[in-house]
A = this chain, B = another copy of it.
Amino acid sequence: MVMHVTVSIAIAGASGYAGGEVARLLLGHPDVTLGALTAHANAGQRVGAHLPHLRALADRTFDPTSAEVLAGHDVVVLALPHGASGALAAELEARGEDVLVLDCGADHRLVDPAAWRAFYGSEHAGTWTYGLPELLHAGEHVATAQRAELAAARRVAVPGCNVTAVTLGLAPGIAAGVVEPTDVVAVLANGYSGAGKAAKTHLLASEALGSAVPYAVGGTHRHIPEIQQNLRAAGAADVTISFTPTLVPMARGILATATARLAPGVDAAAVRQAWERAYDGEPFVHLLPDGQWPTTAATLGANTALVQVAVDAAAGRVVTVTAIDNLVKGTAGAAVQSMNLALGLPEHTGLPTEGVAP
């Protein structure tokens, strides 16, 4: 006899891009049932009017976002603007709900309250277990420690999408000591869905088509302390990073070019070995064959990260390029992957590994 237990899941903020993507992935997950789908301004409206691509949900209706609506589920995924998730999580806590909560927002990612205050300008809501299973810890060749933490977690902070791309690109070199963490430079090409669904003039198609534009230049982007935290976890004593994202005309995708200084005396073979060891056997993170470079299109809709690394001896730098789908491996896929670990399910359950290309 086979008994199939399904887990009930509610999504807060389901009409946005992140929440909608969580819903899309969970519709393909064999072990879950989608419970409440909540929204703010769109509460009471048909799901099909806002997420017309999700046929199975078309005739459902968004509930208002509240602790009452979210209560009673086994899992709650929060896909809300930063600042909103902390309060809601506290309400669920106060109700005594035994619930696994995954926060796709920034509120619970940082360990250091001072870093939170410096970059977000408010009080920190507390630190949750970090939802990047592939995060290398100092001394590790492959990621096991973070997975162990997630297996025991009831509160998970899903990483920022840019952070995931830069971390996956550089952490193997940091952990292996083959690159220096003190003068990292990362420049990213970003699809527009990372900027969310709120109607703003600079996000209009007319502005975006045929154009590239940077934002949050010069050390102001809120993902900076999170990248530093991850690279310190991988073994860096100190991390400095120049980080510049640029919007380019695509709906999804991050292509992160992240470079770090080659450590003294390290050769190209040692560099390649560091990345090979880190990602050999990873189900979602793939080091490409030497000479093949990642494209974001190859990750579209999939929970994969494609990574390549090269040594520029003349410049004294290691150059890594990482492609992810910002809404999948960068957000919703990371949430589901972490959820699987926290629920004791096989890590890859329900997560697409094949991109939709061309």
Residues of A within 8 A of B (CB): 17, 20, 24, 27-28, 46, 48-49, 51-56, 58, 183, 185, 187, 189, 191-193, 195, 197-201, 203-215, 217-219, 224, 240-244, 246, 248-253, 255, 257, 259, 261, 286, 288-289, 292-302, 304, 306, 308, 310-317, 319, 321, 323, 352-358
Contact across chains for B206 and A251 when beta carbons are under 8 A apart = yes
- The distance in angstroms between the C-alpha atoms of A316 and B184, with both chains bound, is 11
Q: Which of B215, B294, B314, B358 contacts A252 (CB 8 A)?
A: B358
Chain B residue numbers with a CB within 8 Å of A251 are: 205-206, 209-210, 297, 357-358
Contact across chains for B246 and A255 when beta carbons are under 8 A apart = yes
Q: Which of B209, B301, B319 contacts A301 (CB 8 A)?
A: B301
A-B contact pairs, 14 of them (CB 8 A): A27-B354, A28-B352, A185-B242, A187-B257, A189-B212, A189-B248, A193-B358, A209-B209, A210-B358, A217-B319, A219-B314, A224-B314, A243-B315, A244-B319
**How many chain copies?**
4
Nearest 6 interchain pairs by C-beta: A218-B310, A53-B355, A211-B297, A205-B208, A187-B187, A219-B312
Given contacts A200-B199, A241-B315, contact A289 B46 (CB under 8 A): yes
Chain B residue numbers with a CB within 8 Å of A355 are: 53-54
Chain B residue numbers with a CB within 8 Å of A17 are: 206, 358
Contact across chains for A55 and B286 when beta carbons are under 8 A apart = yes
Contact across chains for B315 and A242 when beta carbons are under 8 A apart = yes
Contact across chains for A52 and B298 when beta carbons are under 8 A apart = yes
Contact across chains for B310 and A211 when beta carbons are under 8 A apart = no
Chain B residue numbers with a CB within 8 Å of A261 are: 183
Smallest CB separation, A111 vs chain B (Å): 18
Chain B residue numbers with a CB within 8 Å of A215 are: 293
- The distance in angstroms between the C-alpha atoms of A89 and B2, with both chains bound, is 44
- The distance in angstroms between the C-alpha atoms of A255 and B321, with both chains bound, is 18
Chain B residue numbers with a CB within 8 Å of A195 are: 206
Query: Which residue of the partner chain B has the closest CB to A197?
Result: B201
Query: Which residue of the partner chain B has the closest CB to A323?
Result: B212
Query: Which residue of the partner chain B has the closest CB to A310?
Result: B218
Given contacts A27-B354, A213-B294, contact A204 B205 (CB under 8 A): yes
- The distance in angstroms between the C-alpha atoms of A241 and B259, with both chains bound, is 11
Contact across chains for A219 and B297 when beta carbons are under 8 A apart = no
- The distance in angstroms between the C-alpha atoms of A52 and B294, with both chains bound, is 8
Smallest CB separation, A212 vs chain B (Å): 4
Chain B residue numbers with a CB within 8 Å of A323 are: 212
Contact across chains for A189 and B192 when beta carbons are under 8 A apart = no
- The distance in angstroms between the C-alpha atoms of A308 and B323, with both chains bound, is 27
Contact across chains for A354 and B28 when beta carbons are under 8 A apart = yes
A sample of 10 more A-B contacts (CB under 8 A), given A183-B183, A209-B249, is A17-B358, A183-B315, A192-B204, A197-B358, A210-B252, A212-B250, A212-B295, A240-B316, A242-B259, A242-B312
Chain B residue numbers with a CB within 8 Å of A306 are: 52
Given contacts A246-B257, A250-B211, A358-B207, contact A53 B298 (CB under 8 A): yes
Chain B residue numbers with a CB within 8 Å of A212 are: 189, 248, 250, 253, 255, 295-296, 323
- The distance in angstroms between the C-alpha atoms of A109 and B329, with both chains bound, is 41
